[in-house]
């Protein structure tokens, strides 16, 4: 569905183990995201979605395995160096400055952006989230949970990532906001051909946005399906049932 894949990054994860201290949470995970492709990793609470994304982004201990982005081996690389390659990361716990206003957060996110293009991109991103435009002068920490999630996504998008990694953006959002997020991600992929890796519990959002959906169970990918395949929603719901 991507408009262009020329400026996007692919992702290759091979035999990745990751965890905390002596506990291994992710076991031998292998998958690819092609340039301009969107992959959703779905799984119930505690299955290791966040740990998987953190390990890719250099935030969690990585015991073994390899991660490549756009031809570069990022295994063990510091998070800020991975971001510099053009990887955007919207973490589940968010990464915004709670004491700064929405406008100041937006400004901080584009500090290193190309000068002439900054204002245009800010307008594009604010058009995705009209509610943020109304809250520009409000301190980010006083936004509602849903608004903070939108701001976290807006900040990641502002940097024009060539690969966007999003951790459970739908968590705690009301259905209408989940729909907005789906619209935004689809529009952004149409506009920029951005590659996408999203961890989700929401099957409907995953199927709406992603080309393929992988199921993560107890730190292992147990199946991967094409979003356009027949009966895929029922199959995924069954796989995710307790």
Ligand X SMILES: Nc1ncnc2c1ncn2[C@@H]1O[C@H](COP(=O)(O)OP(=O)(O)OP(=O)(O)O)[C@@H](O)[C@H]1O
Q: Which helix (H) or strand (E) holds 216?
A: strand 212-217
Is 58 a binding residue for ligand X by CB under 6 A? The answer is no
Task: Determine, following the binding rule CB under 6 A, whether residue 43 of this chain makes contact with ligand X.
Answer: yes
Q: Choose, by CB under 6 A, the member of 8, 51, 170, 206 that binds ligand X.
A: 51
How many Å is the maximal CA-CA distance in the chain?
A: 51
- Using the minimum distance from each CB to ligand X, give the nearer residue, 60 or 125: 60
Degrees to nearest 5, angle at CA 225 with 219 and 229: 160
Contact characters 2-41, ligand X, x per CB under 6 A: ------------------x--x-x----------------
Torsion of CA 96, 181, 30, 16, to 10 degrees: 20
Of the pair 45, 137, the CB lying nearest ligand X is at 45
206 belongs to the binding site for ligand X (CB under 6 A): no
Q: Does residue 46 touch ligand X according to CB under 6 A?
A: yes
| 45 belongs to the binding site for ligand X (CB under 6 A) | yes
Number of H helices, E strands in the chain: 9, 10
Determine if 176 is a binding residue for ligand X (CB under 6 A). Answer: no
With CB under 6 A as the contact rule, the residue among 39, 42, 47, 181 that binds ligand X is 47
**Token code pair at residue 143:** 């936004």
Looking at beta carbons only, is 53 or 164 nearer to ligand X? 53
| Number of neighbours of residue 86 by Cβ within 10 angstroms | 19
Q: Is 50 in the site for ligand X (CB under 6 A)?
A: yes
Min dist CB 45 to ligand X, Å, is 4
What is the arrangement of strands in the sheet containing 23-33, beginning at the earlier edge strand?
23-33, 11-20, 61-69, 72-73
């Amino acid at each position: 569905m991507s408009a262009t894949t020329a400026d996007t990054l692919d992702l290759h994860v091979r035999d990745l183990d990751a965890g905390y201290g002596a506990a291994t949470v992710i076991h031998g995970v292998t998958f690819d995201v092609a340039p301009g492709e969107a992959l959703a990793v779905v799984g119930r609470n505690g299955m290791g979605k966040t740990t998987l994304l953190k390990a890719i982004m250099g935030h969690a201990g990585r015991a073994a395995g390899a991660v490549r982005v756009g031809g570069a081996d990022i295994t063990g690389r510091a998070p800020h160096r991975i971001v510099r390659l053009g990887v955007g990361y919207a973490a589940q716990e968010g990464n915004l400055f709670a004491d700064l206003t929405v406008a100041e957060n937006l400004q901080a996110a584009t500090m290193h952006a190309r000068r002439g293009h900054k204002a245009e991109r800010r307008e594009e991103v604010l058009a995705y989230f009209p509610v943020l435009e109304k809250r520009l002068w409000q301190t980010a920490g006083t936004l509602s949970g849903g608004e903070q999630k939108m701001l976290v996504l807006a900040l990641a998008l502002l940097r024009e990532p060539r690969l966007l990694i999003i951790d459970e953006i739908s968590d705690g959002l009301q259905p209408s906001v989940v729909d907005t997020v789906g619209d935004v991600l689809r529009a952004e992929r149409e506009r920029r051909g951005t590659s996408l890796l999203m961890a989700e519990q929401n099957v409907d959002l995953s199927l709406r946005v992603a080309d393929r959906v992988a199921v993560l169970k107890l730190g292992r990918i147990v199946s991967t399906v094409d979003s356009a395949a027949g009966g895929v929603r029922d199959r995924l719901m069954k796989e995710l049932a307790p």
